[in-house]
Structure 1
Amino acid sequence: MAPDYKHVRVRDYLRGLVAHELVVGDTIPSERELCERFAVSRMTVRQAIDALVNEGLLHREQGRGTFVAPPRTDMELRLVGFGDDMRRRGMSPHTELLDAETVEAPWDVAEALELEPGAAVHHVQRLGWADGRPMALEEAWVPATIFPHLLDGAPDAFPESLYATFRDHGHDPNWGEDTVSASDASAHEAELLRLGRGARTVLRIARRTFADQVACAFSRSCYRADRYTLWVPLTAPNPVVTPRTQGAATSTVDASPTGAARTIQEVRR
């Protein structure tokens, strides 16, 4: 039996409406209108709409209807804070401090920060806003031995940018490691990020931030998947050069456990 692609026609029609006729916040035609226009069942129409909701092109509001969603923001992984990243995109950011306290590092946090289990760390939870909308929820741990006074001004005068604070104290973040995954938001995360029932997927990024060989922060963030797409620039690998003469220089990639990938020039004598 051949597969039924009727929902694809409905989906592509709606995609065209969003691209050429509708604007953000407009409602799409009703399910009844779409059923009549394409002579298909309501189940087929819902399948098409579900696909576009999952893509982030549309969003549903319970009891109100389905609307054209705001465009997604490309998320290029950079070693910058939330505020700087949003400003680079022409958006107005605001960071809301949810919690800040000094605690004993759990074993996984201690391992990430290369500390002894139970070492003192500053634990910070923040909600990132851009243009008046919640965009990201961040949980970060910072070694108390390196930044003992980080929480002195909390909550009233907590710094907007942790990276700027690190630089001010002589630890300039210059490399890091990210691990990216996707999953459904918890009920608490969905409430803070104001996620509707049909848009509960979030992008999760676990990051270790280093200043040279010092681990200065470990963070776990979740971003609204309906507002972000992950963009990763790729380049072709460098060719492997094998020296043929005495005194030639070779280039290799350091893949040491520190994770700092850098080019090393070695001169053969």
Structure 2
Amino acid sequence: MTEQALRGMQETIDAGTGVAKHLQLQSILRRFVEEQATAGAAIPSERLLADHFGVARMTVRQAIDALVADEVLERVVGLGTFVARPKLDLQVKLTSYSEEMARRGMVPDARVLSFEQVGASRLVARELQIDPGQPVVRFRRQLLADGEPMSVDENFIPAVHVPGMLDEEPPTSLYRVLSERYGMVMEWGEDTIEATAASASTARLLNVELGAPLLKIQRHAYVSRTMVDYSVSYYRADRYKLWVPLQRPGMRTPRSYHPHRHQGS
């Protein structure tokens, strides 16, 4: 792949143009990524690029640093530099994962890790505002899009709200089942979002390295004033960016306004 990539970079750096060499190389690499490379593909090492273009490694590093900052390339410690995969805009909505991925034109899938009734731990009981030990349905899944792991989700639902749920196969769309079978349409919710590092078990499920950055989202979802779902989700930080629309209190959004959609949405 490295030799093929170098053959695809036919342009040369002209010292007589007055344009800094690292800026010329930056443009060459950007065009290569946009026109020839595929997401996730490795690019040649700094040494090979320096030899190929006849420049110093510092020049190559400056060009690559700029493209990493622009999210055109991404560095993976110990492995090299790769064409960046587009990050999905993580819009905070009360929709199911399958609905959200379908909206993006991606094929959603899920691997069920657990679907069982357990007694609420003290933590879960506190979050759901129920008594410790009260039965809850625990539904933990590895969620994928186009075959690639994207997040690990764990939902806790008071069993009293979903009688007979465990008698059926695990749902492919949790919120759809809650709506269609139990008449519970999520009306509002609260999310807490924070950065965290991948534990050993989560890293394996998300196909990332131990300690890799993740987005952790804890959600409390309500029907009217009743909390019916508490969930904890771990999203790959290399595949998501958080998109939050802002509006000044008392101001109306112009009708002509269309939220910017990031690449991949």
Bin for the TM-score computed over the shorter chain: 0.7 to 0.9
| Structure 2 residue runs without a partner (length 5+) | 1-19, 252-265
| Distance (whole Å) between structure 2 residues aligned to residue 109 and residue 99 of structure 1 | 16
Pick from 21, 43, 52 the counterpart of residue 68 of structure 2: 52
- Aligned AA (1:192): L
Q: CA RMSD in A?
A: 3.2
Matched residue of 1:178: which SS? strand
Identity %: 37
| Distance (whole Å) between structure 2 residues aligned to residue 130 and residue 110 of structure 1 | 31
Q: Deviations over 1:124-180 (max 9, x none)?
A: 110101101111100110101111322222xxx111112112212122111100111
User: Could you state the TM-score of these two structures normalised by the residue count of structure 1?
Assistant: 0.73
Tell me which protein shows more strand as a share of its residues: 1
| Distance (whole Å) between structure 1 residues aligned to residue 120 and residue 63 of structure 2 | 46
- In the TM superposition, what is the alpha-carbon distance from 1:73 to its structure 2 partner? 1.0
Hey, what does 2:216 align to over in structure 1? 204
Matched residue of 1:52: which SS? helix
| Distance (whole Å) between structure 2 residues aligned to residue 80 and residue 11 of structure 1 | 43
8 A contact 1:104–1:119 mirrored in 2:
yes
- In the TM superposition, what is the alpha-carbon distance from 1:10 to its structure 2 partner? 10
Distance 1:53 1:67, change over 3 A: farther
| Distance (whole Å) between structure 1 residues aligned to residue 203 and residue 62 of structure 2 | 23
Tell me which protein shows more helix as a share of its residues: 2
| Distance (whole Å) between structure 1 residues aligned to residue 201 and residue 25 of structure 2 | 32
| 1:230 is the counterpart of 2:251 | no
Distance 1:46 1:191, change over 3 A: farther
Structure 1 stretch displaced more, 16-25 or 163-172? 16-25
- Aligned AA (2:118): V
| Distance (whole Å) between structure 2 residues aligned to residue 140 and residue 56 of structure 1 | 35
Matched residue of 1:145: which SS? helix
| 1:217 is the counterpart of 2:229 | yes
8 A contact 1:73–1:227 mirrored in 2:
yes
Hey, what does 1:91 align to over in structure 2? 106
| Distance (whole Å) between structure 2 residues aligned to residue 50 and residue 120 of structure 1 | 53
- In the TM superposition, what is the alpha-carbon distance from 1:39 to its structure 2 partner? 1.6
- Spell out the pairing of 1:151-170 with structure 2 (5 A cutoff): 151-153=166-168, 157-167=169-179, 168-170=181-183
8 A contact 1:53–1:59 mirrored in 2:
no
- Spell out the pairing of 1:166-181 with structure 2 (5 A cutoff): 166-167=178-179, 168-181=181-194
8 A contact 1:92–1:131 mirrored in 2:
yes
| Distance (whole Å) between structure 1 residues aligned to residue 72 and residue 212 of structure 2 | 11
Distance 1:62 1:39, change over 3 A: closer
8 A contact 2:88–2:241 mirrored in 1:
yes
| Distance (whole Å) between structure 1 residues aligned to residue 63 and residue 132 of structure 2 | 49
8 A contact 1:99–1:125 mirrored in 2:
yes
Pick from 103, 120, 137 the counterpart of residue 105 of structure 1: 120
Distance 1:230 1:78, change over 3 A: same
Hey, what does 1:191 align to over in structure 2? 204
Q: Deviations over 1:69-94 (max 9, x none)?
A: 32111111110111111001000001
Distance 1:120 1:233, change over 3 A: same
| Distance (whole Å) between structure 1 residues aligned to residue 112 and residue 43 of structure 2 | 37
Query: What count of residue pairs does the alignment treat as equivalent?
Result: 227
- In the TM superposition, what is the alpha-carbon distance from 1:51 to its structure 2 partner? 8.4
| Distance (whole Å) between structure 1 residues aligned to residue 41 and residue 70 of structure 2 | 18
Matched residue of 1:102: which SS? strand
Matched residue of 2:160: which SS? coil
Hey, what does 2:152 align to over in structure 1? 137
| Distance (whole Å) between structure 2 residues aligned to residue 28 and residue 128 of structure 1 | 29
| Structure 1 residue runs without a partner (length 5+) | 1-5, 240-269
Distance 1:162 1:28, change over 3 A: same
